[in-house]
């Protein structure tokens, strides 16, 4: 990975316990490389999922995807993922947040995250690898 520009903020990728989220990590890597920023990955799962055997396998795959992209990955079990992600993004000085594109029965995570961090751009990646952006108002 190229040397990180100390003036650049980090790129934060938010993932869920799905194997398809590995593509979000790879997409986040592309965005981080373009801006010479550090890449970090955040997974916030419901507390009840902490004992799920299926989760272990998915987490291993996501950790490996993060490692291959030279990123660190943090995992939390919390029932308020939007609040935790906003605090984490602030502490890590995230300049851009990458998420999946909300589906029809969305939890509202992306919209609440935007409400909590209105000045941070959010890039949503859809299932066809298309980008959809929520940009701060100037």
Q: Please check whether residue 97 is in contact with residue 117, taking contact to mean a CB–CB distance below 8 angstroms.
A: yes
- CATH: 3.40.50.2000, 3.40.720.10, 3.30.360.10, 3.40.50.620. Which one for 10-108+120-134? 3.40.50.620
pLDDT at 119 over 90: yes
pLDDT-derived band at 2 (thresholds 50, 70, 90) equals: very low
pLDDT at 138 over 90: no
pLDDT at 7 over 60: no
Give CA–CA dist 62/56, Å, rounded: 10
């Amino acid at each position: 990975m190229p040397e990180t520009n100390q003036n650049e903020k980090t790129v934060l990728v938010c993932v869920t316990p799905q194997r398809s989220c590995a593509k979000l990590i790879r997409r986040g890597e592309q965005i981080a490389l373009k801006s010479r920023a550090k890449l970090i990955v955040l997974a916030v799962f419901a507390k009840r999922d902490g004992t799920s055997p299926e989760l272990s396998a998915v987490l291993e795959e996501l950790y490996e995807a993060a490692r291959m992209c030279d990123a660190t990955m943090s995992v939390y079990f919390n029932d308020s993922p939007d609040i935790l992600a906003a605090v984490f993004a602030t502490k890590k000085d995230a300049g851009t947040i990458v998420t999946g594109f909300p589906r029809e029965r969305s939890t509202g995570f992306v919209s609440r995250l935007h409400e909590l961090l209105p000045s941070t751009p959010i890039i949503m990646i859809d299932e066809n690898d298309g980008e959809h952006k929520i940009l701060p108002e100037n």
